[in-house]
Amino acid sequence: MLMNKYTNKITRLTLIIERLSKGMGLSTPNLVDFFQVSNKQVQTDFKDYILNIFDDDTIYYDYSSKTYLAKTNFLTSTLFTSKELAIISIVKAKTKDKYSDDDLYEKTNMLFLQHEELLKDNIFQHASVEKIDKFKSEIVTIKNAINTKHIVTCNYNDKVRTIYPLKIINIEGFWYLINHDTTDKKIKTFHLQSIKNIDISPKRFTFDDKGIVNKFDNCINAYFKPTAKPITVILYIDKQIVRYFERKPLNSSQRIIKKYNNGNIDLEVIISDFMEIIPTIQKYIPLIKVIEPQELSDKIEENLKNYFKSI
């Protein structure tokens, strides 16, 4: 009788994680057929292990397509291999066992976060990314508060703030905390290194509007405004710089809407504020032009006139 290698949990979870990271949608029936295991086993793989690797929506179930999905290439951003994440998912599940200590899960999760940040710091230490060595402990503390949904009190810009920490992101090489400020009930971005005197409250928070937080995945720079009306921008890009936009899209909305025979293109991108795109446009002048909206073109022209007046 032939041995089914997919009866091994690590092997099975590793393959699932690899496929999710490649952007594949995975359904329970298809995985049952492929692994030759029971329907219950596949559901357990996701419920008890895969969905618990991260405490956000990196991996999720899409009810409309009835498939499990994930953020494409999440493996690259986590800096772990698929097998390492499979093992981590098993360890984290074990820490929730009824025989485990009450705080074992939170301590294990903190070790996971600390290791991830250490890897990031080692990889990016020579890159144009803000170094985290001076505020690494703050990152770990805040990440743990995000995962456990604990309210945070801190000092920021010489003010005491009580916030709901929601997500840590990197924008143009700098680390920011997306948070819900309880004072004015607005979503804000705080520069992480500028957050001081962090105190984790025993009180937990609830925040249901994940959609507004997920919008930050589409931001270009810190001028992003999640509640603003989207602005569609069309740019004419000279062939000399087309490759830069192809290699590193401005955000996920970027798309080429026209290709010219000479290699030039028209590019569409959706932004929330003109200052998200103005620095990029001014960087590449005269190889880039604003087709629309006219208001953005006028603003660029005004900036150039003011510049030449000052020299």
For 98-226, where are the alpha helices, taking DSSP H only?
Answer: 104-124, 136-148, 210-214
Residue 225: inside a domain, yes or no? no
pLDDT band at 103 (very low <50, low <70, confident <90, very high): low
Taking residues 148-164, what's their average pLDDT? 94
Note whether 186 and 247 are same-domain residues.
Answer: no
Number of neighbours of residue 297 by Cβ within 10 angstroms: 15
* Distance (Å, whole) CA 137 – CA 143: 10
Long-range contacts of 303-308 (CB under 8 A, 24+ apart): 303/278
What percent helix, strand, coil does the chain show, rounded to 5?
45, 25, 30
Residue 105: inside a domain, yes or no? no
Q: What CATH number does residue 161 fall under?
A: 2.30.30
Give the H or E element holding residue 94. helix 82-94
In the predicted structure, residue 292 carries a pLDDT above the cut 60: yes
Tens-place pLDDT, residues 26-81: 999 999 999 999 999 999 999 999 998 887 778 999 888 899 998 877 776 666 78
Lowest mean pLDDT among 128-132, 211-215, 276-280, 288-292: 128-132
Of 218, 246, 265, at which residue does a domain stop?
Answer: 218
In the predicted structure, residue 137 carries a pLDDT above the cut 90: no
Reference 217, options 289, 265, 272, 288; nearest CA is 272
Residue 102: inside a domain, yes or no? no
Residue 101: inside a domain, yes or no? no
Lowest mean pLDDT among 40-54, 67-81, 140-154, 271-285: 67-81
Q: Please state the length of the chain.
A: 311
In the 8-state DSSP scheme, what is residue 45?
I
Number of neighbours of residue 224 by Cβ within 10 angstroms: 20
Residues of the domain holding 18: 5-94
Of 78, 94, 110, at which residue does a domain stop?
Answer: 94
Lowest mean pLDDT among 124-128, 152-156, 193-197, 225-229: 124-128
Q: Tell me the pTM.
A: 0.54
Residue 116: inside a domain, yes or no? no
When divided into structural domains, the chain yields a total of 3
Q: What CATH number does residue 76 fall under?
A: 1.10.10
Residue 293: inside a domain, yes or no? yes
Of 94, 110, 130, at which residue does a domain stop?
Answer: 94
Residue 255: inside a domain, yes or no? yes
* CA gyration radius, the chain: 23
